[in-house]
């Protein structure tokens, strides 16, 4: 396995087993282990890949040794302080505690040796090994076992927390069926999804998952889209509509023409995004990683000074006493709480978002969403449904039916929602029309040759570009219109109506409630954009924009030192999505280009998820900084007590493992939140 993230430096032993150089690396691996296994089993032979053990295996391995140690430690403490049997003395007592120590101590010491061999001397394995062996050296056997046992219990909690954090993300990996039914040569054949070609007919039975993106050719069918969108309400698709991989067929046998290869389906792209998300660290994680690398060697040096320097300044110096203080200092110094709880907090945030139909491509974007002060949105497909219907057609110089036929024939070559609405409205009347030399003019419309006639269809900017005269009265029409020219002469217009999404108004109210400015950037007419903005209460609205004009508007806002999230769904939105501090794509109706460019993908196209994404970012950051404050404050306090000889190893255990457990439990809270 190759990891291109420079912040994850992995080492391997002679047998190919990965050595974790830090606890943060171990958390990262546990959170991604199942993803790696799943991907490897699907796409390559196991022998060609690193074998990474699953979190469940790790849990079982730690559980049994920890139980054995706990039983023997409890019995030892009972013998020492309550029963006090005669036989529990001298070498027998030492052997008892050694036996209690070995099940949890040996694995840690092995990891310490491997980390040292890999060049990572100051790992938590090394610190725990030195501290507990030192405790045995000065006769504090029970305390030595307790420290190592608590560390093992911390591992159990860590594994359980990681498993919970990635549970909703891991569920995505089960959405792709291993086999599909394809209609070939008049019969149904069962094959791997990866073997299916574009244009083949996929047959999906009731209750089955759709494996590939395609166009429904059955009359209609209902699908459960919860895995993709988070919505439990069934979605009914009609003939000609798109069906996406990951949907579950609910009520009838459905035939689907495959339009996308398995590896290129929206679901496959979503899985890639999720698998890559945890490798993109937030600034907080990067800071803590660097902090731990500097902090740990310093406290080891200080522990050594605490043990040895008093010899030169204290008249009644007793080596065992000062060694004990230094061991306390070492145990406290281990940065477990920081390097465990912070990645867990971000894993939890990403998991919570995925359960709400939002995909963050990295934990760094969770942080960015907390700083957003301006949300810039496209109109069509973002604030409106993008489901257009033809309202009227007004011709000039040609018959209305001819106007509709020519326009539909040209628009049939485009995937734009308006183009689809016109084609659907006209039906089959244009099917036998010859269309050639079609050119899509980004931000303007379409140009093509139909039965020897040059036809233009688009917005008024298209007419101005080609200097075509038209009736100026149509500029006062507030609805969306498509103007048409035949052989450079105005031929009429078609009015189109779109519908505002149900949650758009509440979204704007919620954004304003958290003091975020809202802006619309649209290629539609200014009058249409103004009407939408007024209805929704949006602060600023710009219409009649080409893609490059949208980029200019966003850049102007950035020049005002505003932190911007741009939300869009079309191909034309991709440049602006890339420019924004946080690019958000509407994943259901959105284009592949925009989804790939975006930092965050909203899978169900609901604008209200913008607010949810911001709230999840704020919640995640709040819990992460709570953990940082908790860990550092407790550690500093107990470090001071340990240095002056007041704190014992019991307090040290709480300051290290106890605080780590509290931080983990705090991080787990993220996953229980409901929006």
Q: Which residues carry out catalysis? A: 378
Chain length of the chain: 675
Pull the structure tokens for residue 179. Answer: 């086999």
Q: How many CB atoms lie within 10 A of CB 510?
A: 18
Residue 202 CA to residue 204 CA, distance in Å, equals 6
CA distance 270 to 175: 11
Instruction: Tell me if 218 sits within 8 A of 252, measured CB to CB.
Output: yes
Distance CA 34, CA 51 (A): 11
Closest CA to 338 of 667, 647, 5: 667
Give the Cα separation of 533 and 541 in Å (integer). 6
Q: What is the DSSP letter of 82?
A: I
Contacts of 552 (CB under 8 A, 6+ apart): none
| The 3-state secondary structure of 346-388, one letter per residue | HHHHHHHHHHCCEEECCHHHHHHHCCCCEEEECCCCCCECCCC
Distance CA 154, CA 614 (A): 31
Pick from 158, 154, 194: nearest CA to 176? 194
CA distance 358 to 599: 11
Ramachandran region, residue 393 (left: φ > 0; alpha: ψ -120 to 50; beta: rest): beta
Residues 6+ apart with CB under 8 A from 518: 374, 375, 376, 377, 508, 511, 512, 538, 539, 540
Contact residues for 182 (Cβ-Cβ < 8 A; gap 6+) = 188, 189, 190, 191, 196, 200, 201, 202, 203
Strand, helix or coil for residue 140: coil
Q: Helix (H, G, I), strand (E, B), or coil: what is residue 203?
A: strand
CA separation for the pair 311, 323 (Å, rounded) = 11
- C-alpha 535/C-alpha 328 separation (Å) is 65
């Amino acid at each position: 396995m190759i990891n291109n993230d420079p912040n994850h430096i992995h080492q391997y032993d002679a047998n190919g087993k990965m050595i974790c150089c830090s606890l943060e690396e171990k958390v990262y691996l546990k959170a991604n282990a199942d993803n790696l296994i799943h991907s490897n089993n699907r796409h390559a032979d196991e022998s060609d890949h690193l074998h990474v053990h699953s979190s469940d295996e790790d849990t079982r391995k730690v559980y049994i040794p920890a139980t054995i140690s706990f039983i023997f430690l409890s019995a030892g403490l009972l013998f020492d302080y309550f029963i006090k049997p005669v036989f529990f003395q001298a070498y027998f007592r030492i052997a008892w505690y050694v036996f209690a120590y070995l099940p949890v101590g040996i694995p840690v010491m092995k990891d310490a040796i491997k980390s040292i061999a890999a060049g990572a001397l100051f790992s938590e394995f090394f610190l725990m090994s030195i501290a507990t062996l030192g405790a045995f050296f000065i006769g504090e056997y029970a305390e030595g076992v307790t420290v190592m046992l608590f560390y093992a219990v911390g591992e159990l909690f860590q594994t359980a927390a990681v498993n919970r954090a990635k549970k909703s993300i891991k569920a995505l990996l089960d959405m792709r069926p291993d086999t599909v039914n394809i209609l070939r040569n008049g019969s149904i054949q069962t094959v791997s999804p990866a073997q299916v070609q574009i244009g083949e007919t996929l047959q999906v039975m009731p209750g089955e998952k759709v494996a590939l993106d395609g166009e429904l050719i059955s009359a209609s069918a209902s699908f459960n889209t919860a895995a993709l969108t988070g919505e439990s309400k069934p979605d009914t698709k009609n003939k000609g509509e798109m069906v996406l991989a990951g949907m579950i067929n609910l009520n009838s046998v459905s035939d689907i023409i495959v339009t996308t290869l398995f590896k290129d389906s929206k679901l496959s792209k979503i899985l890639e995004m999720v698998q890559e998300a945890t490798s993109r660290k937030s600034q907080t994680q990067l800071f803590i990683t660097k902090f731990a690398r500097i902090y740990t060697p310093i406290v080891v040096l200080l522990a050594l000074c605490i043990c040895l320097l008093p010899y030169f300044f204290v008249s009644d110096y007793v080596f065992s006493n000062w060694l004990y203080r230094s061991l306390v200092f070492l145990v406290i110094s281990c940065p477990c709480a920081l390097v465990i709880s912070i990645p867990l907090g971000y894993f939890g945030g990403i998991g919570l978002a995925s359960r709400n139909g939002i995909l963050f491509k990295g934990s760094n974007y969770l942080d960015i969403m907390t700083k957003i002060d301006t949300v810039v949105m496209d109109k069509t497909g973002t604030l409106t449904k993008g489901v257009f219907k033809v309202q009227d057609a007004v011709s000039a110089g040609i018959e209305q039916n001819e106007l509709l036929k020519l326009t539909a024939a040209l628009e049939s070559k485009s995937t734009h929602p308006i183009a689809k609405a016109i084609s659907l409205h006209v039906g089959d009347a244009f099917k036998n029309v010859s269309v050639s030399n079609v050119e899509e003019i980004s931000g303007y419309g379409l140009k093509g040759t139909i039965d020897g006639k040059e036809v233009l269809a688009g917005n008024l900017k298209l007419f101005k570009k080609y200097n075509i005269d038209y009736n100026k009265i149509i500029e006062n029409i507030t609805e969306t219109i498509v103007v048409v020219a035949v052989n450079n002469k105005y031929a009429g217009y078609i009015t189109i109506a779109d519908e505002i999404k149900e949650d758009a108004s509440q979204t704007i109210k919620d954004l304003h409630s958290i003091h975020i400015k809202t802006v619309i950037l649209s290629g539609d007419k200014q009058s249409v954009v103004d009407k939408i903005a007024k209805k929704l209460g949006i602060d600023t609205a710009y219409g009649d924009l080409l893609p490059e004009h949208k980029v200019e508007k966003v850049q102007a806002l950035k020049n005002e030192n505003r932190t911007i999230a741009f939300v869009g769904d079309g191909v034309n939105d991709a440049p602006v999505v890339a420019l924004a501090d946080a690019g958000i794509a509407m994943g259901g109706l959105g284009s592949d280009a925009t989804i790939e460019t975006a930092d965050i993908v909203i899978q169900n196209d609901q604008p209200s998820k913008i607010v949810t994404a911001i709230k999840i970012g704020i919640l995640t950051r709040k819990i992460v900084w709570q953990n940082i404050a908790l860990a550092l404050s407790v550690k500093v306090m107990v470090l001071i007590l340990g240095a002056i000889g007041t704190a014992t190893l019991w307090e040290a255990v709480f300051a290290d493992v106890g605080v780590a457990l509290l931080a983990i439990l705090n991080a787990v809270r993220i996953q229980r939140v409901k929006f």
